[in-house]
Amino acid sequence: MSEKAIITCAVTGSIHTPSMSPHLPVTAEEIAEAAIGAAEAGAAIVHLHARDPRDGRPDQSVERFEPFLKVIKQRTDCVVNITTGGAATMTIDERLKPVAFFKPEVASLNMGSMNFGLYPMLARFSKDKLKHAWEYDYLEGSRDRIFKNTFADIEKILTTCAENGTRFEIECYDIGHLYTLAHFADRGVVKPPFFVQSVFGILGGIGPNPDDVMHMKRTADRLFGKDYHWSVLGAGRNQMPIAAMAAAMGGNVRVGLEDSLWLGKGKLAVSNAEQVKQVRKIIEGLGREVATPNEAREILKLKGADRVAF
């Protein structure tokens, strides 16, 4: 409990579509402002995806990332984490491009192939209420889509990022993903300290029950001992309950509109900063302190913002 809590904020992601919330950042300006606001509210790390500003679809091109990366770096000292997850509709080469080009301090890394069910969200939206044609196909298509992260894919990301000194937010959606991390750690392909982001409540991954949270933590403790730092995210309505559980257990937390559009029951979050402020209250209410960006860099042994390519 003595270690300060690192708050990560995932500001837009590729799960939610523009019709779901008017507050979801889409343009480069909106993504930059969302990240800066989250950092000012207490997020040490911002986890970033890009979108096509014309219709909000996920876009993993270097050209989409560049405008907001420079603004964020100019206006805040937060740690920038660029996704290699992109979207499940993309190839591994597409997903890897911005990380290989910009050489961030942190990149996300998904630890296994999985079903990633987004289609139940369509229950809230009839087809004619969606703003863009791609949204329906994207959500419904997840019924028959695999989010591909093979051993070869994972190793390609690990070795590409190792050349640039980029470390990882290691996203584990199920228990087996922890064992996959242990496999690469045993081979020396990835080095400690590991920043393990346990993901709860995605259809296709581990559930959000407190027993699931405890099982993830116990397994990671057994596999990695003192060589890792544990963080959690809860999807949708599970966001704050999961964060509260982890914070009480001495863990770190992730919030943001990528993971949940909500601030409370029936209440959309108007910004990423709003969620950061809420989880910060939980952490500080437990008598813990929130880590600054530089403290997060020290805890996670990051290379520093002066060694990125943006």
Is pTM, for the whole model, over 0.85?
A: yes
Task: List, in order, residues 6 or more apart from 99 with CB less than 8 Å away.
Answer: 82, 83, 84, 107, 157, 160, 161, 166
CB atoms closer than 10 angstroms to residue 286: 14
CB count within 10 Å of CB 128 equals: 6
- For the stretch 57-70, pLDDT in tens is 999 999 999 999 99
Give the range among 118-132, 140-154, 239-253 with minimum mean pLDDT.
118-132
pLDDT at 1 over 60: no
The average pLDDT across 283-290 equals 97
pLDDT-based confidence at 128, cuts 50/70/90? confident
Joined tokens for residue 170: 């290691």
Residue 103, SS3? coil
pLDDT value, residue 129: 86
pLDDT one-digit tens code per residue, 159-202: 999 999 999 999 999 999 999 999 999 999 999 999 999 999 99
Q: Hey, how many other C-beta atoms are within 10 angstroms of the C-beta on 161?
A: 22
Percent of the chain with pLDDT over 70: 99
Mean pLDDT of the chain: 97
Q: What percent of the chain has pLDDT over 90?
A: 97
Q: How far is it, in rounded angstroms, from Cα 294 to Cα 79?
A: 8
When pLDDT is cut at 50, 70 and 90, the band that residue 2 belongs to is: low
